[in-house]
Structure 1
Amino acid sequence: MSDTAPPISRFYVVSLVGILCLVFMVSQFLRSSTGVIAPDLMEDLGLRPEGLGLLSGAFFLSFAVSQIPVGIMLDRYGARVTMMGSVGIAVLGCFAFAFARNEMELTAARVLMGLGCSSMLMGPLMIYRRWFPAERFASLSGIQISLGTIGALMATAPLAFTTELFGWRESFMGVGVITLFFAILMGFIARDTPPGMAPPPRSSETLRESIGGTVEVARDRSVWPLFTMISCGYASFAAMQALWVAPYLSDVHGLDLTARGHVLFGMTGGQVIGLFLWGYAERLFGSIKKPVMAGVVLSASILAILAALDHPPLWLVTALFIVLGLNAGYTPLLLAHGRLIFPDRLAGRGITLLNFGNMTGVFALQALTGALIGFLWRSGVATEAGYRITFASLALVLLAALAYYSTIRDTSSRAVAARG
């Protein structure tokens, strides 16, 4: 911020950060929102497991494919305009979901949600970069992600409560209205630069040039072990949290909507806490690779235990899901690993590539696990056994990705600083 810039009130700064966090909460809510209501969608609209997997994953696929165009728009038009446009698409997605009458319409609505949420993290981070000193950027990024994850919490017990009270259609109409209100507030509050600072130069980079830079990153062989791990790490957790935990609790343990919401609330609450705790792991280990590998092994072990137990008691299942949520906090370390191994010239394109892998991995695992469960049930495999085989397959995916990731060179922020 310029030394000659007029003073900015603390209230305005808090309002700016607050509205950007609220908008990101919407993104986190929508990406997780099919989890607790999945059994209701299957019952009301006759969805099969394959359709449910595609429906949930559609958000992540559309989110992923929009990353490069969104990056160009952020550079060319600024974060405020880009976010206003994308949030408007998210509002349309909420209303489309509420009025959908079949699987195709629900999936199209999820695609709109993914497109609409595609700038809700990178946009605020660009604004923070312009508004605040460099030494505050990391803490603000952590605040943005941690508070945003509260949106995922709202997609558990609170969504179950409103669905029980009003219905899932009415709940999403309400979310659309709230999102529209946030968009209007953001239009009044958010600015790309603080008063007194010249607007940032707009990039003239074309889509072809952006893709060319990504191809340059992709030629680095060390990228692919990291890409593979980031495509499987969060995706395996999301397949559980946003898709299969609620149907499993309903089919195997007979939990109703409210009870499923409570279990998912504990699981997602564990994730929020885990995001804070795992943030210190690099300093504790003096490494990024070591805590990531530890986190992967623990997640795979929990999934293997769930797969091995025949109708385990509900208290144990709940405890395992909460620990799985706590452990999911290791996944942002993979992005930090990428930030440290890419040179400054290619850092943006490298992170974009990893984020693309992150989201497409979620889509792929949700679609594939949906197809797997559907095939198993049609083949006569018992309901619980179908879930257990699916949990085991997720554990194997994690371990296979870990074997490849183990070949990548280790690093840490201290080692990079020491190299200067």
Structure 2
Amino acid sequence: MKSFGIFCTVSALFIFSMFYRVSNAVIAPDLVETFHLNAEGLGVLGGAFFYSFALMQIPMGLLLDRVGPRYIMTVFGLVGACGALVFAMANTFFFAMAGRVLMGMGMASVLMGSFKVFVLKFPSSRFSTLSGALISIGTLGSMLATSPLAWLSQNIGWRLTFVIAGCTTIMCAFLIFWALRNKDIQQGASGNPVNENDKKIPIKNILHLVVGSLSFWQISIFAFFRYGTFVALQGLWLGTYLMDVKGFSPVHAGNILMMLSIGYIAGAPIAGYLADKVIRSAKITAFCSVTFYTISLLPLTGIVDIKNPVVFGSLFFLIGFFNSPGTLAYTHVKELYPIHISGTVIAAVNFFVMAGGAVLTPVLGMIIAACTQKNQLPCADAYHYAFLVCFLGIATSLIFYAFSKSRQVISD
């Protein structure tokens, strides 16, 4: 029961992390009006969360391995809550950016900290299942950032909505501090303490061990495009596409975008079970699923003209369903390295995951802006070119990923 309580607590904070990531999509018209943004500026604001999130992954793994998840998740959770409050009160683009940066910095500890808790508290054979369940539950945050956020924005305003989110995040951060208070969270899954000699390995040696492997780079590039394309689409550009090109209202667009989250929620636990119990390979499960994700992006490139919201909803469900098993890249890379550097190696991959969102969100905005006439809404072709870049990027990374190693071959 204690373990279940820990799982629920970290999941609650992860819900807000996912909410903040993609919350700009349905409030984009409000942000454009408030801060006088074009597509490029909107992309930069959307990517701000990911800039700081990605940069924080560099020290985050080492902090989690050396200090532990309790203090790191609590302190950074409070930083993220402050970011939400700054964003809510921003009256200039600079302060809106600052709020998004603080949100990204604070939420940078949540997923990696949760994974570290799983490594320390649970048997390794359950890691894929637990991580899949965590990501499914966390995706409720992405769902809240669709039509519920659009409805709240219309009724109480986007600013008050973020004030409420920030205050609730503060409560979640303190719950983390309480839930992880027991000393056994510093022990391995078997209940035996981690070897203290392992903690004394020089940081330089750890980093060399991690980045010196070709498989690390193959997994990281795959993760960059797998998540970067998805979050750029879900977090901003599919929403504006539905509103600018297809003429849907923010609430209607939010309803359709919700299908991405529903698909993501459905796909993650199924993939975790398949990887742990059936296929018994995180790599094969991730590769096959993301191949179908890549194919599902093709209709967005303009090869077919979709108008029916039901068809859009079905397509978005498939995109979310087949993308979510790509999170097994964390399990994959964890299997290649010793347990005492698990936090560092998972965070290193997560740097590229979040860098994907940081880079691709504004890059798609630049493409769309470059193909749009001045003082005009973006046309369909502008979006289709941007979505084609997503397809080509993930397809190329899949080829690279196919040749990565599957099992533990790297040791210190």
TM-score interval, normalised by the smaller of the two chains: 0.7 to 0.9
Aligned to 1:242: 235
Q: Supply the RMSD in Å over aligned alpha carbons.
A: 3.0
Q: What's the offset of the Cα at 1:78?
A: 2.9
The one of 238, 246, 254 equivalent to 2:247 is: 254
One-letter amino acid of the counterpart of residue 142, structure 2: A
How many residues were matched structurally? Answer: 402
2:232/2:360 contact within 8 Å kept: yes
1:127/1:193 contact within 8 Å kept: no
**CA distance in structure 2 between the aligned counterparts of 1:262 and 1:331, rounded to whole angstroms:** 24
Aligned to 1:5: none
Q: What's the offset of the Cα at 1:93?
A: 0.3
When residues 203 and 240 of structure 1 are mapped into structure 2, their CA distance, relative to the original with a 3 A threshold, is farther
Aligned to 2:154: 164
2:156 counterpart of 1:154: no
When residues 350 and 169 of structure 1 are mapped into structure 2, their CA distance, relative to the original with a 3 A threshold, is same
Tell me which moved more, 316-325 or 215-224.
215-224
1:131/1:193 contact within 8 Å kept: no
**CA distance in structure 2 between the aligned counterparts of 1:356 and 1:57, rounded to whole angstroms:** 14
2:121/2:185 contact within 8 Å kept: no
Aligned to 1:386: 382
The one of 361, 366, 375 equivalent to 1:371 is: 366
Aligned to 1:47: 37
**CA distance in structure 1 between the aligned counterparts of 2:179 and 2:249, rounded to whole angstroms:** 41
When residues 278 and 176 of structure 1 are mapped into structure 2, their CA distance, relative to the original with a 3 A threshold, is same
**CA distance in structure 2 between the aligned counterparts of 1:33 and 1:200, rounded to whole angstroms:** 39
Q: Within 5 A, what are the aligned runs for 1:75-114? A: 75-114=65-104
Deviations 1:180-209 (A, max 9, x none): 222333334431524998998989979x94
The one of 140, 163, 166 equivalent to 1:173 is: 163
Aligned to 1:115: 105
**CA distance in structure 2 between the aligned counterparts of 1:50 and 1:382, rounded to whole angstroms:** 11
Q: What's the offset of the Cα at 1:130?
A: 4.5
**CA distance in structure 2 between the aligned counterparts of 1:118 and 1:358, rounded to whole angstroms:** 11
TM-score under structure 2 length normalisation: 0.87
Secondary structure of 1:255's partner?
A: coil
TM-score under structure 1 length normalisation: 0.86
2:313 counterpart of 1:318: yes
Moved over 6 A (4+): 195-206
2:355 counterpart of 1:360: yes
Aligned to 1:304: 298
**CA distance in structure 1 between the aligned counterparts of 2:186 and 2:116, rounded to whole angstroms:** 18
When residues 295 and 144 of structure 1 are mapped into structure 2, their CA distance, relative to the original with a 3 A threshold, is closer
Tell me which moved more, 47-56 or 193-202.
193-202
When residues 34 and 188 of structure 1 are mapped into structure 2, their CA distance, relative to the original with a 3 A threshold, is same
Secondary structure of 1:47's partner?
A: coil
When residues 25 and 260 of structure 1 are mapped into structure 2, their CA distance, relative to the original with a 3 A threshold, is same
When residues 202 and 21 of structure 1 are mapped into structure 2, their CA distance, relative to the original with a 3 A threshold, is farther
**CA distance in structure 1 between the aligned counterparts of 2:175 and 2:373, rounded to whole angstroms:** 49
Gaps of 5+ in 1: 1-9
**CA distance in structure 1 between the aligned counterparts of 2:340 and 2:152, rounded to whole angstroms:** 47
One-letter amino acid of the counterpart of residue 379, structure 2: T
Secondary structure of 1:341's partner?
A: coil
One-letter amino acid of the counterpart of residue 123, structure 1: G
**CA distance in structure 1 between the aligned counterparts of 2:73 and 2:351, rounded to whole angstroms:** 19
Gaps of 5+ in 2: none
When residues 293 and 125 of structure 1 are mapped into structure 2, their CA distance, relative to the original with a 3 A threshold, is closer
Deviations 1:135-184 (A, max 9, x none): 65554444333222222221112211211111111110110111122233
Aligned to 2:223: 230
The one of 261, 266, 282 equivalent to 1:268 is: 261
Aligned to 1:18: 8
Deviations 1:332-371 (A, max 9, x none): 1222222233355654433232111111112111121111
